[in-house]
Structure 1
C-alpha cells in the first residue's frame, strides 16, 4: 500500500433491489448529485450508472443497477443481465428494500437466489421509512423478514428522500470496505459522458409525462451533441435527439395535440440539462418509429443495451 493511501478505504458497491424501491434516489442522495434519473414508474434505470463518492480516506464507486424483474422482452433480458453483471466485481453489495415490505415478493425471491450464490458481503438497506406511518418502527420487522434468507454484515433503515441515516450508511461502508487506492480523481462524480446524462434526463421527462406502455417503449438516441466546451465558437449546447418508439400511436401520444407534449418534454429536459451542465441549451427533439425495437438484438446492440 502506498503510504499516501495508508488506511484509505475503496470499493465498488452496487445497489440492487426490485424495481421502484428507490435505488436511484438513494444513490443521488448519497452523492448529493443527480447521476441517475428518477420516476415513480418501475424499470426506470436501464443501464448500469456509476457515481463516485469521495470523502477523506474513502472513495466508493456506487453502481445504480436496473431493478431485477422477470423480463418480458429482449430489452428486459438485457436490463436484468446488466444488473447481474454489476455484482461480479463488487466489494460490497447494498440490497435495497422498503419499510413497507411484509412479505417476500417474486422479484425479491429472484434477487435472493442470486445473492445466495455470492460470497460478497451484503448490507441490507431498508429505504422509504418516511413513506409510511411508523416507518422507523417497521425496520426491525423488515430486517427479520429478509434475514431468514440472507446473512448481512450490517442492516440499516434510511430515507433517501429526507437524508435520514445516510451518514450512518456511509460510516458503515467505510468500516466494511477493504483498504485500497482511489481509482478516480476526488473531483470526479461519474464516468458517464455528458451526452449519456443528457439522454437520460430527456427519458426521465418522457417517463414523467406519459402513461401506461408508452414510457417503457421509448428509447432516446443522441444524434448530435455540440458543446461550447468542444466548440469554443458556440454560445449554446446543441443537442439533437431521437425519441424512438414502436408504434405510430405512441408517436402521436409523444407529440401531443399541436405538439404540446413534445414541447413540454423538451422544456423540462432543457431546464435540467442547463442546471446540470451550466450551458444554455438548444434541444431539438424528433420522434422516430422503429417497430419492435425492444425485441430486436440488432437495435438493442446499436443502442448500447447489449455489448457490441
Structure 2
C-alpha cells in the first residue's frame, strides 16, 4: 500500500507537546518515534525549533511536534521561541500538556495552559504525567489527580515513563482517538521532516551542552557550514561546522582543560553523525564569537531564528 492509500477509518494529524522547559518532551518524542530525532539535555530550553517526528500505526499516522518549552522570556531569542510555540498551537489537532511526576504543579503550568487555551480554544488537550519512573506509585496518583484538576472537564490524563517505555501505547491510543479521519501524510519510512544539516547541528550542540551549567548553554548555537566528500579518503564525508558563542572566554569553558572536553564533544557527536548518515565522517569544528546573539535580531536571523 502506498502512503496515499488509506484504509477505512484511518486517522492522521498533528500533536504538539507543550509544557515548561525540561519536562521530558524531547525524550518522550524520541521514545514514541522509536528513534532519536530530538536532542535531550539536563538544561531547560534545550529544544530551539519545532521538530516533527512520525509515529506509524496500522490505524493512524501521528505527526509529533516537539516544541521549545514555553517560558517567560529573558531575551529576544526567548520571545521568538515562544512565538514559534504559540504559532504551532493553532496548526495542530491535539495538544499534550506535559508535567513531570517529580515536580509540583505550579503557576508556570497554569500560565502555559492559559496561553494554550487562548491560542487554540477548540483544540483538545491531553494531560501527560512524565518521568513516572522517578517517583512512587502514590506520588504518580497524586500528580494525576492534580493535573486532572488543572485541566478540568473531560480531559484525559495519562502517566508515562519514556525511559522505561511504560504506558506509551496507552498514550498513543488516547491521541489516535482524538485525531480526525484522514490519509497518510508521509511515507511509512519517514521518521522526521528535519533536514540532515539541522539534525547534525543538533547532535553537535547536544554534545557541547553535556555537563555545562548556569547560563552558558543558552549562549551556544551550532550551524553546519558544508558537507563534502573527503578528497583523499574514499567513503568519508567531511563535515564542517561552527559553534557560535557570545564571549571569547566561553570557548575555554567548552574546550575544557587541555582541550579534553572538546575531544569528547567531537567523539560523541561524530558517532551520532555516523549513525545518522550511515557512513564514516571527519568532523571539523571551529568557534565563532557572535556577541550577545540571543538579543541581536541580525544574528538571530543568521542562525535561523
User: Do they superpose with TM above 0.5?
Assistant: yes
SS of the residue corresponding to residue 283 of structure 2 reads: strand
Q: Which residue of 2 aligns with 1:114?
A: 115
Q: CA RMSD in A?
A: 1.9
- 2:277 maps to which residue? 277
Task: Determine helix, strand or coil for the equivalent of 2:281.
Answer: strand
Residues 133-159 of structure 1: CA distance to partner in whole angstroms, max 9, x if unpaired?
x1x333332233233342453211010
Q: In the alignment, is the contact (CA less than 8 A) between 2:290 and 2:299 conserved in 1? A: no
Task: Check the 8 A contact 2:93/2:124 in 1, yes or no.
Answer: yes
Q: Give the Cα–Cα distance (whole angstroms) in 1 for the partners of residues 253 and 105 of structure 2.
A: 37
Query: Match for residue 148 of structure 2?
Result: 147
Q: Distance in 2 between matches of 1:51 and 1:227?
A: 28
CA 256–100 in structure 1, closer or farther in 2 if over 3 Å, else same: closer
Higher mean displacement: 139-148 or 207-216: 139-148
1:293/1:234 Cα in 2 relative to 1: closer, same or farther (>3 Å)? farther
1:127–1:158: 8 Å Cα contact kept in structure 2?
yes
Gaps of 5+ in 1: none
Query: Alpha-carbon deviation of 1:248?
Result: 1.0
SS in 1 for 2:70: coil
* Aligned-residue offset at 1:185: 0.5
Q: Residue deviations 1:18-69, cap 9 Å, x none?
A: 0111000001000110000011111110110110111112100000011111
In 2, Cα distance between the equivalents of 1:173 and 1:297? 37
Match of 2:193 in 1: 191
Q: Is the 8 A contact 2:162 2:168 kept in 1?
A: yes
In structure 2, C-alpha distance between the alignment counterparts of 1:261 and 1:80, rounded to whole Å: 32
Q: Does 1:47 align with 2:49?
A: yes
Instruction: Tell me, yes or no, if the aligned pair for 1:262 and 1:285 is still in contact at 8 Å.
Output: no
Deviation of residue 3 (structure 1)?
A: 7.6
Deviations 1:161-196 (A, max 9, x none): 100000111111222211001111011000111111
Unaligned runs of 5+ in 2: none
Q: Is the 8 A contact 2:15 2:62 kept in 1?
A: yes
Q: Distance in 2 between matches of 1:288 and 1:296?
A: 15
1:125 aligns with 2:128: yes
- Secondary structure of the residue aligned to 1:67 is coil
Cα distance between partner residues in 2 of 1:283 and 1:51: 26
The answer (yes or no) to whether the contact 1:52–1:59 under 8 Å persists in 2 is: yes
Indicate how the Cα distance of structure 1 residues 191 and 103 shifts in structure 2: closer, same or farther if over 3 A, else same: closer
Q: Which residue number in structure 1 is paired with residue 239 of structure 2?
A: 239
TM-score by length of 2: 0.92
Distance in 2, matches of 1:137 and 1:262, equals 43
Partner of 1:20: 22
CA contact (8 A) 2:110 2:150 kept: no
Change (3 A) 1:59 1:238: same
Are the aligned partners of 1:246 and 1:290 in contact in 2 as well (CA < 8 Å)?
yes
Q: CA deviation at 1:108?
A: 1.2
Alignment pair present for 1:218 and 2:187: no
User: What SS does structure 1 have at the residue aligned with 2:151?
Assistant: coil
